Amino acid sequence: MFFGNTNIPIIHLDKKEQQKFKTLHEVFIDELETEDNIQAEMLRMLMARFIIKSTRLLKAKEGILETPKSSKVDLLREFNFLVEQHFKKEHSVSFYADKLFRSPKTLSNNFAKLNRSPLQIIHERVVLEAQRLLTYTDKTAKEIAYEIGFDDAPHLSRLFKKYTSQSPSDYKKGLKTTG
């Protein structure tokens, strides 16, 4: 959410905050069971509420003072939102930097504290999606490559292997032997 899918900050909640998140979780589960034409909108709203509450707690924990659009946490969160929206088509840091009205270098500097680059976060999200598609669909690596914005399967395969230490086909075979 704030930092991609690694180096996740741990926020300890007091009983009052635990109850608030428990209630939000219960409402979210209830909404998942309610299938109607506004379910998706309601789930998005509940997720936004969860993200806002989490952001506020992280800012309080980190002692971050509110300044208009200058907070690094806000920048990281906005970057991650953009990645989530565009990772299937856009894999370049410059695309996201432009959307955030920053230079790629400035964006990279803001990520230095995480010991990860914006490109790593983009790649991790792409690989996570490839893993999801390999796990839950019958699509081939080639089909998945095209779906997540690659011109050819070998490019995805190299990236996948870099982050998981196995090829997409080996990953898929491993799923069949364990499941």
Alpha helices in the chain, H assignment, sequence order: 15-32, 39-62, 72-86, 93-99, 104-111, 118-136, 141-147, 153-164, 168-178
pLDDT digit string, tens, across residues 131-169: 999 999 999 999 999 999 999 999 999 999 999 999 999
C-beta of residue 144 within 8 angstroms of C-beta of residue 133: yes
pLDDT tier, 7 (very low <50, low <70, confident <90, very high otherwise): low
Is residue 54 domain-shared with residue 8, that is, in the same domain? yes
Given a cut of 50, is residue 68 above it in pLDDT? Answer: no
C-beta of residue 83 within 8 angstroms of C-beta of residue 107: no
Three-class DSSP category at 101:
coil
CA 167 to the chain's CA centroid: 22
Is residue 76 domain-shared with residue 149, that is, in the same domain? yes
Given a cut of 90, is residue 125 above it in pLDDT? Answer: yes
Is residue 17 domain-shared with residue 103, that is, in the same domain? no
Domain count, the chain: 2
C-beta of residue 133 within 8 angstroms of C-beta of residue 139: yes
Given a cut of 60, is residue 6 above it in pLDDT? Answer: no
* Token couple for 61: 């924990």
Answer with the one of 64, 85, 114 that is the final residue of a domain: 64
CB atoms within 10 A of CB 28: 15
Report the range of poorest mean pLDDT among 41-50, 61-70, 74-83, 98-107: 61-70
CATH classification at residue 140: 1.10.10.60
Give the pLDDT score at 1: 47
